[in-house]
Amino acid sequence: MPQAGLPAFAADLARALDALGGIRVDIPVIQPAEPFLDMAGEDLRRRIFLTESETGESLCLRPEFTIPVCSAHIAENVATPRRYGYLGQVFRQRRDGANEFFQAGVEDLGEPDEASADARALSEARALVAEFTPAANLSIILGDQAVFEAVVAGLGLPTGWQKRLIHAFGNEQALDAMIAKLANPEAAAVPDASVAGFLANGDVTGLEAHIEEVMQQTGYSTNASRSPAEIAARLISKQTLDATRLSARSLEALKAFLALDVPLDRAAAALSDFARDAGLDISVAQKAFEARLDALKQRDEDLGTIRWRAAFGRPLDYYTGLVFEISAGADNLVLAGGGRYDQMMALLGAREPIPAVGFSLWLDRIETVRAGR
């Protein structure tokens, strides 16, 4: 019996997914919340429906499929490469639609030829969207988390600042704020007056003692929270990062990179020109980027119809390389999105690193486009 709210085209979409060779998985609706809270990113964390078990375990309604599909793969301890397909409901607080909606997609785990797997994910997502929205004018935008990370590393920033910028990738407002802070020596936050003297004098022992005293006065237990030494270390690290500034040359290089926005058939040349002009060695990331372009060409994808934006990311923290979205219409309604997430399997408990890439389709949005609304 069809699930309530499932679009009429879903049965045909399910058959199309099966034809791609993935194993169809059935993921429970109730999921442990911790993996999503740790890895999904702030945007999704804010919209998860949380609950609690009788034993106090944090649970949630399934907000997406990628994390639980990967967890199930690890639990079953099966070999890779392996592909999984899915179609089912997800639950998120949404501003532009129902809080319960259907997603379908593919997760491709353990394929050693990453360029080929990336190209297949984008190509299959595009083909599925085109098949089920034949009258739509589609647009595809592509970004690359790994290229951004290579540029940030090449600028010579402290590790803490690199992590901040990488975490903000894809959030244009947050990224602009961080770049402004790196550019402006007056933008550093003023520390709380109670600790400013200790920080200014480099008095770590005094700072730790002060923090411990405050914790005792306010009833905080050092067993239930960070220790005074850990809090002091974080304050000192934050002050150091706030005092860090990019040179004018590095700042211009970062801005020049983020401004790159060209058709994908011109992206390799644009990236090469940028690296040369900025004096950055990002050759490893460039090689992987160009290998993906070659793989897309081998799949007969028209690179001139795909847009590469250097600043484009997706609001999920687990991406490590390729990211893409496929949209339609004047409102630029996102119908599909995906990317590479090579670190997730290890974070979820896999015994060895497993490369991974996948994509999801939003069935309610596809139905909206099909209906011409």
What's the pLDDT tens digit per position in 21-49? 999 999 999 999 999 988 887 778 888 99
Phi-psi region of 21 (alpha: psi -120 to 50; beta: other; left: phi over 0): left
Average pLDDT, the chain: 87
Residues 67-72 have a mean pLDDT of 96
Q: Which of 18-27, 117-126, 246-255 bottoms out in mean pLDDT, i.e. has the lowest?
A: 246-255
Question: What pLDDT band is residue 305 in, cutting at 50, 70 and 90?
Answer: very high
Q: Which of 94-108, 118-132, 238-252 bottoms out in mean pLDDT, i.e. has the lowest?
A: 238-252
Who has greater pLDDT, 285 or 235?
285
pLDDT of residue 316: 83
User: Does residue 125 register a pLDDT over 90?
Assistant: yes
Q: Where are the domains of the chain?
A: 10-150+271-370, 189-242
Question: What pLDDT band is residue 107 in, cutting at 50, 70 and 90?
Answer: very high
CA separation, residue 264 to residues 83, 86, 128, 298, 335 (Å): 27, 29, 21, 14, 20
Distance CA 300, CA 282 (A): 27
Class of 10-150+271-370 in CATH = alpha beta
Output phi, psi for 195, to 5 deg.
-115, -10
pLDDT of residue 120: 98
pTM of the model: 0.83
Question: Helices 193-201 and 204-218: crossing angle, nearest 10°?
Answer: 160
Handedness of CA 299, 303, 309, 312 (dihedral sign): negative
pLDDT of residue 185: 52
User: Does residue 189 register a pLDDT over 70?
Assistant: no
> Which residues, 6+ apart, have CB-to-CB distance to 313 below 8 Å?
143, 145, 148, 169, 170, 171, 319, 323
pLDDT of residue 199: 54
Say if residue 67 is exposed, middle or buried (CB neighbours under 10 Å; 0-12, 13-18, 19+): buried
Of the chain, the percentage scoring pLDDT greater than 90 comes to 61
Residues 62-74 have a mean pLDDT of 95
